[in-house]
Structure 1
């Protein structure tokens, strides 16, 4: 369902020409050329698919619940960054929480899959968003 909601936004809103009000995609006419946060959407897909994979492999309901919750939050954060590159707070909070949770699981288990992979990917997202935060022009 997550893909069905965001895919039209990605495809239709990334054009540089606005659609006329009577067009079939007229509900997207107010959005012009936006840069898409592909790394954020990829991270969201990785988190959500990790939760689904954990459920399929072990039958863990908390795994699928946490994966879909954090994947949805990461996707929402990527959508916000795509609309406004300065609005990184949901993405930063989600990836920061995932870094802490999966980092502690990796520290305890010393197993790369899945905790180490998710901790590493989350840490990369925190780094990417931190660089975005540092490169923003400061308003006085």
Structure 2
């Protein structure tokens, strides 16, 4: 099974990315999106750690949402923050996607 630590790390980094986006640009949607995706990662990690249902699915959903929002922005702007968030999303997609596939 998947270790819960990566989900908590991804949660913190994603929320931190949203806060950083707000500090740099004053974008309130950055904070909202970052903390919402971070909360999905945190909840998924908690559910994985406590062997509850839908932990992997929540973490995978968070990765999909993060990838969908950050990868196009990273391609368009080629700035560090969107590239970093895209790498986090790809890591999450690989980690949780593989775990989900192996579970089936």
Decide whether the 8 Å contact of 2:66 with 2:89 is kept in 1.
Answer: yes
Aligned match of 1:107:
75
Gaps of 5+ in 1: 1-34
Cα RMSD over matched residues? 1.8
Distance 1:42 1:99 in 2: 16
TM-score for both structures, normalised by structure 2? 0.87
Q: Please tell me whether Structure 1 or Structure 2 has the larger radius of gyration of its CA atoms.
A: 1
- After TM superposition, which residue ranges in structure 1, 4 or more long, deviate above 2 angstroms? none
Distance of aligned partners of 1:131 and 1:85 in 2 relative to their CA distance in 1, 3 Å threshold: farther
The CA deviation at 1:82 is 1.2
Gaps of 5+ in 2: none
Correspondent of 1:131 among 92, 95, 98 = 98
TM-score for both structures, normalised by structure 1? 0.66
The CA deviation at 1:51 is 0.9
Q: Deviations over 1:69-125 (max 9, x none)?
A: 1111111111111112763111101111111210111111122x1111101111111
Distance of aligned partners of 1:90 and 1:102 in 2 relative to their CA distance in 1, 3 Å threshold: same
Aligned match of 1:55:
22
Correspondent of 2:59 among 91, 115, 133 = 91
Bigger share in helix: 2
Tell me the matched-pair count: 102
Distance 1:39 1:85 in 2: 17
Distance 2:38 2:77 in 1: 23
